[in-house]
């Protein structure tokens, strides 16, 4: 299965390449591009079986590619924004992955692509473009999803009749428990959030925060060390004075990406 990767963030592209090389030997990466312009030019000369494409690119978004090029391949969209993901999911022939890419979710997407290739099921480009037009028009807009490219600087916490602003720079980590989401600050204060961790993650700087598991997001500047556990997981130790209110363990599926993020 020949694959094209469309991604303008070098670290994100490297992580995806490593995941595909390590876990999916049947997937041959035949090209990588980082912009709408380069992708349109590449597709004019090549025909991959599947395209893994980031939604937001340096000179536009992936839907500009659909409008300018003949796309016959299967498509897996990769994005940090839930609103894009929901629209892509509604189009049955297009899969999506949320950043940071989880190997198990990637496996499910690859299996679905194989199934569709085996049945010669193509994508309905009319449905894809219509979904994006609705998104641009603001239909069914999420109240918690950030505008693409905009990072949150603070969270507003409701405490009875008060609203308390919490700066992102003061946050040590986020976690979920019993269907609730929480912020824990570097000073040890804990607050209940209205947003899900998916919505929180979409508004954070990916260089400063990492989703270590489905239930936790950690700030880079509070990590003291990472210890190896059985099964490929990592147990995090925080810097002195920062309390731990929950188990901060990097899942096996995210461990390699986490170490790459920490190194970068």
Domain co-membership, 116 together with 166: no
Is residue 62 packed enough to be buried (19+ CB in 10 Å), middle (13-18) or exposed (0-12)?
Answer: buried
CATH code of 75's domain: 3.40.50.2300
Residue 259 in this model has a pLDDT that exceeds 60: yes
Domain co-membership, 119 together with 192: no
Q: What are the tokens at 95?
A: 């899969």
The pLDDT tens digits of the residues spanning 68-87 come to 888 889 999 887 765 555 55
Domain co-membership, 51 together with 108: yes
How many structural domains is the chain composed of? 2
Domain co-membership, 123 together with 158: no
**DSSP-assigned states of every residue in 84-114:** HHHHHHHSTTEEEEESSPPHHHHHHHHHHHH
pTM attached to this predicted model:
0.52
Provide the percentage of residues in the chain whose pLDDT is more than 90: 45
pLDDT for position 100: 81
Residue 188, domain member (yes or no): yes
Domain co-membership, 116 together with 39: yes
Question: 32: Cβ–Cβ under 8 A, 6 or more apart, which residues?
Answer: 4, 5, 6, 7, 13, 17
**34 or 96: which carries more pLDDT confidence?**
34
User: Is residue 75 within 8 Å of 47, Cβ to Cβ?
Assistant: no
Domain co-membership, 68 together with 123: yes
Residue 149, domain member (yes or no): no
Beta carbons within 10 angstroms of residue 218's beta carbon: 24
Average pLDDT over residues 228-253: 89
Domain co-membership, 117 together with 199: no
Residue 169, domain member (yes or no): yes
For residue 168, the enclosing domain spans 154-263
CATH code of 210's domain: 2.40.50.40
Domain co-membership, 112 together with 164: no
Residue 48, domain member (yes or no): yes
Residue 123, domain member (yes or no): yes
pLDDT for position 154: 86
| CA dihedral (143, 108, 90, 29) positive or negative | positive
Residue 31, domain member (yes or no): yes
The pLDDT tens digits of the residues spanning 110-158 come to 999 998 888 766 666 666 666 555 554 444 333 333 434 457 788 888 7
Distance between CA 260 and CA 214 in Å, rounded? 18
Residue 146, domain member (yes or no): no
Residue 148, domain member (yes or no): no
Domain co-membership, 113 together with 54: yes
Domain co-membership, 126 together with 37: yes
Average pLDDT over residues 249-259: 92
Domain co-membership, 123 together with 165: no
Domain co-membership, 128 together with 69: yes
Which among 239, 1, 233, 214 is positioned nearest to 100, based on CA atoms? Answer: 214
Average pLDDT over residues 208-214: 93
pLDDT for position 130: 62
């Amino acid at each position: 299965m020949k694959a094209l990767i469309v991604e303008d963030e070098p670290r994100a592209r490297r992580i995806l390449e490593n995941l595909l090389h390590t876990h999916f030997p049947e997937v041959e990466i035949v090209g990588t591009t980082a912009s709408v312009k380069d992708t349109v030019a590449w597709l004019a000369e090549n025909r991959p079986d599947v395209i893994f494409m980031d939604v937001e690119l340096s000179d536009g978004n992936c839907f500009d590619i659909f409008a300018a090029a003949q796309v016959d391949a299967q498509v897996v969209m990769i994005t940090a924004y839930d609103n894009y993901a929901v629209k892509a999911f509604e189009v049955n022939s297009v899969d999506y992955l949320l950043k940071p890419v989880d190997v198990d979710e990637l496996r499910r997407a690859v299996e679905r692509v194989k199934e569709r290739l085996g049945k010669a099921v193509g994508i309905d480009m009319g449905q894809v473009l219509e979904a994006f037009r609705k998104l641009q028009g603001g239909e069914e807009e999420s109240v918690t999803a950030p505008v693409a490219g905009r990072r949150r600087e603070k969270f507003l916490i409701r405490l009875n009749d008060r609203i308390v602003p919490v700066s992102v720079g003061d946050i040590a980590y986020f976690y979920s428990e019993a269907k609730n989401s929480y912020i824990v600050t570097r000073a040890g204060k804990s607050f209940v959030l209205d947003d899900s961790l998916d919505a929180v993650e979409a508004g954070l700087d990916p260089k400063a925060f990492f989703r270590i598991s489905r239930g936790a997001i950690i700030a880079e500047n509070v990590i003291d060390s990472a210890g190896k556990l059985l099964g490929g997981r990592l147990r995090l130790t925080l810097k002195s004075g920062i309390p731990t209110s929950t188990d901060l363990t990097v899942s096996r599926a995210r461990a390699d990406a986490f170490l790459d993020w920490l190194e970068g």
